């Protein structure tokens, strides 16, 4: 007998109870945390895994013969395996632990760029990139006398694939694009970007910082060459992240930083380097961070991906409708395919003023340029107010946001 086919739904109330911080008050109101794009809150299992590590396992890894060191090493490498399975990398050696997205992109720009970029070579970025996916490329392009080309976007906040095809040429060596825009929420058509870039012989790096907290990513199905993300935006601690890279590419790159852990044999004449992933992980890593990231992924993976998407899309549709119904609110980023991130402006009020008044009402949002100044220039504004949601947000918090914005509108008019 077949079980009834009901699509699973999320028990958001139960999820909320796993986040102790959501119970606290701010300025006399229950916290409404809508700054998930900056960093997500941590569920109890992640907090527990980290406390457990310090209580029971703390030791330096990979080098010790003693029991604790072996247990700690096992826990850390187990976390790497959890990440591997979750993003469906072929081997755990392709999963490099970093300090975050920024570090991962810098690693690729520096190590791959120094070896492979030649004068006149080109790298393509888009208008909507985070500074973390701009500045490392500017630095390496200066050093190598290579050039950046900018893939334009539409007013709604979508990549202009027509223009992309024109920009791609035999000079294009790499395309570095956000999987999801942190300011607009646009989900970019990365499969198509990869297909077009690969057809031209260019590599693709995806900045997955804002995609990972919302969707399942399969690096092999995408065929992506490098994929960077941060733990802290996906319910894990700060200071840990991942750079996925295809083994052949990583093996071919020179190491990043020199030090312990990353060597095979050191003499004053010559040093040989360790195998992947250790070649790129010099020094004692953020052990508890890696373990926390493993715990966060295990926690997040228990939820049905479609149910998560359905819940977040419901929040997006509801919040978009409610905010749009307010007079003088303009939403930036209206691509048909978005995650639940809403940037908006309130008439000509300064986003800082709006954010300050929302904060007085316990509503945490982000204001400013969101580290995307070229995107602000594109819209000819200095900043926006951004509400960014996560799995644990619910409709009542949309209502709180909308009421708080309505009040700010009155006060600032």
Ligand X SMILES: Cc1ncc(COP(=O)(O)O)c(C=O)c1O
Residue number, 98 or 384, with CB nearest to another protein: 384
Contacting residues for 48 by C-beta, under 8 A, at least 6 apart = 295
Binding of ligand X by 207 (CB under 6 A):
yes
Strand 329-332 vs strand 363-364: parallel, antiparallel, or unpaired? Answer: unpaired
| 33 beta partners | 364
Answer yes or no: are the C-beta atoms of 338 and 39 closer than 8 Å. no
List strands edge to edge, sheet with 329-332.
Answer: 329-332, 341-346, 384-388, 366-368
Nearest approach in angstroms of CB 216 to ligand X is 18
Cα dihedral sign, 289-290-294-297: positive
CA neighbor of 112 nearest in space, from 250, 247, 225: 250
Q: Which does 101 bind (CB under 5 to 8 A by kind): another protein, ligand X, none?
A: ligand X
- Other Cβ atoms less than 10 A from the Cβ of 166: the count is 10
Nearest approach in angstroms of CB 143 to ligand X is 22
Of residues 357, 398, 401, 404, which one binds another protein by CB under 8 A?
A: 357
Q: How far apart are CA 13 and CA 19, in angstroms?
A: 10
Q: Taking the mean position of all CA atoms in its chain, how far away is CA 19? A: 20
Q: Which does 143 bind (CB under 5 to 8 A by kind): ligand X, another protein, none?
A: none
Contacts with another protein: how many residues (CB under 8 A)? Answer: 16
Answer yes or no: are the C-beta atoms of 342 and 398 closer than 8 Å. no
Residue number, 274 or 349, with CB nearest to another protein: 349
Of residues 161, 321, 396, 411, which one binds another protein by CB under 8 A?
A: 411
- Report helix, strand and coil shares of the chain as percent, to nearest 5: 45, 20, 40
Structure-token match 């083994």, residue found? 247
Of residues 133, 367, 372, 393, which one binds another protein by CB under 8 A?
A: 367
Six-digit token string for 380: 């000819």
∠ CA 88-93-98, rounded to 5°: 90
Binding mask 222-261 for another protein (x = CB under 8 A): ----------------------------------------
Binding mask 336-375 for ligand X (x = CB under 6 A): -----------------------------------x----
Nearest approach in angstroms of CB 339 to ligand X is 11
Binding of ligand X by 101 (CB under 6 A):
yes
Catalytic residue at 111?
no
Binding mask 375-394 for another protein (x = CB under 8 A): -------xx-----------
Residue number, 133 or 322, with CB nearest to ligand X: 133
Q: How far apart are CA 372 and CA 153, in angstroms?
A: 14
Answer yes or no: are the C-beta atoms of 205 and 105 closer than 8 Å. yes
Find the catalytic residue in 111, 141, 340, 371.
Answer: 371
Of residues 167, 178, 203, 409, which one binds ligand X by CB under 6 A?
A: 178
Q: How far apart are CA 63 and CA 27, in angstroms?
A: 48
Q: Which does 407 bind (CB under 5 to 8 A by kind): another protein, ligand X, none?
A: another protein
Contacting residues for 237 by C-beta, under 8 A, at least 6 apart = 42, 46, 50, 231, 288, 289, 292, 293
Q: Which does 80 bind (CB under 5 to 8 A by kind): ligand X, another protein, none?
A: none
Nearest approach in angstroms of CB 192 to ligand X is 19
Binding of ligand X by 209 (CB under 6 A):
yes
Stretch that binds another protein, among 11-19, 245-253, 290-298, 352-360 (CB under 8 A): 352-360
Q: Which does 108 bind (CB under 5 to 8 A by kind): ligand X, another protein, none?
A: none
Q: How far apart are CA 165 and CA 268, in angstroms?
A: 49
Binding of another protein by 407 (CB under 8 A):
yes
Residue number, 22 or 357, with CB nearest to another protein: 357
Binding of another protein by 351 (CB under 8 A):
yes
Contacting residues for 271 by C-beta, under 8 A, at least 6 apart = 258, 263, 264, 265
Contacts with ligand X: how many residues (CB under 6 A)? Answer: 13
Q: How far apart are CA 383 and CA 405, in angstroms?
A: 16
Q: Which does 182 bind (CB under 5 to 8 A by kind): another protein, ligand X, none?
A: ligand X
Binding interface with another protein (CB under 8 A): 27, 349-353, 356-357, 360, 367-368, 382-383, 407, 411-412
Active site residues: 371
């Amino acid at each position: 007998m077949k079980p009834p086919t009901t699509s699973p739904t999320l028990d958001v109330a139960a999820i909320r109870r796993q986040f102790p911080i959501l119970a606290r008050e701010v300025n006399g109101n229950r916290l409404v945390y809508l700054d998930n794009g900056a960093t997500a809150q941590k569920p109890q299992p992640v907090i527990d895994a980290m406390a457990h590590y310090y209580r029971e396992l703390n030791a330096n890894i990979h080098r010790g013969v003693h029991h604790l060191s072996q247990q700690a090493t096992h826990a850390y490498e187990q976390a790497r395996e959890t990440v591997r399975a979750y993003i469906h990398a072929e081997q755990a050696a392709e999963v490099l632990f970093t300090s975050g997205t920024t570090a991962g992109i810098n690693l690729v720009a520096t190590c791959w760029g120094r070896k492979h970029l030649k004068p006149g070579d080109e790298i393509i970025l888009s208008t909507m990139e985070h500074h973390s996916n701009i500045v490392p490329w500017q630095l390496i392009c200066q050093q190598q006398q290579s050039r950046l080309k900018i893939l334009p976007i539409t007013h709604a906040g979508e990549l202009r694939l027509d223009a992309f095809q024109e920009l791609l040429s035999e000079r294009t060596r790499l395309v570095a694009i956000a999987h999801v825009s942190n300011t607009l929420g646009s989900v970019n058509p990365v499969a198509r970007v990869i297909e077009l870039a690969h057809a031209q012989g260019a590599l693709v790096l995806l900045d997955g910082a804002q995609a990972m907290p919302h969707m399942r990513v399969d690096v092999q199905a995408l065929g992506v060459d490098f994929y960077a993300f941060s733990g802290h935006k996906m319910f894990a601690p700060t200071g840990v992240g991942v750079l996925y890279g295809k083994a052949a590419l990583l093996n071919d790159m020179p190491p990043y930083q020199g030090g312990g852990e990353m060597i095979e044999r050191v003499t004053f004449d010559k040093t040989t380097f360790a195998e992947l992933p250790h070649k790129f992980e010099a020094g004692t890593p953020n052990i508890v961070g890696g373990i926390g990231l493993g715990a966060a992924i295990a926690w997040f993976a228990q939820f049905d991906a479609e149910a998560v998407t359905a819940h977040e899309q419901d929040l997006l549709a509801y919040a978009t409708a409610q905010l749009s119904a307010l007079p003088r609110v303009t939403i930036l980023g209206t691509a048909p395919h978005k995650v639940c991130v809403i940037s908006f402006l309130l008439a000509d009020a300064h986003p800082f003023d709006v954010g300050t008044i929302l904060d007085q009402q316990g509503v945490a949002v982000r204001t400013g340029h969101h580290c995307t100044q070229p995107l602000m220039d594109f819209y000819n504004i200095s900043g926006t107010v951004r509400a960014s949601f996560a799995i644990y947000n619910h409709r009542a918090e949309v209502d709180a946001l909308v009421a708080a914005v309505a009040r700010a509108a009155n006060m600032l008019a």
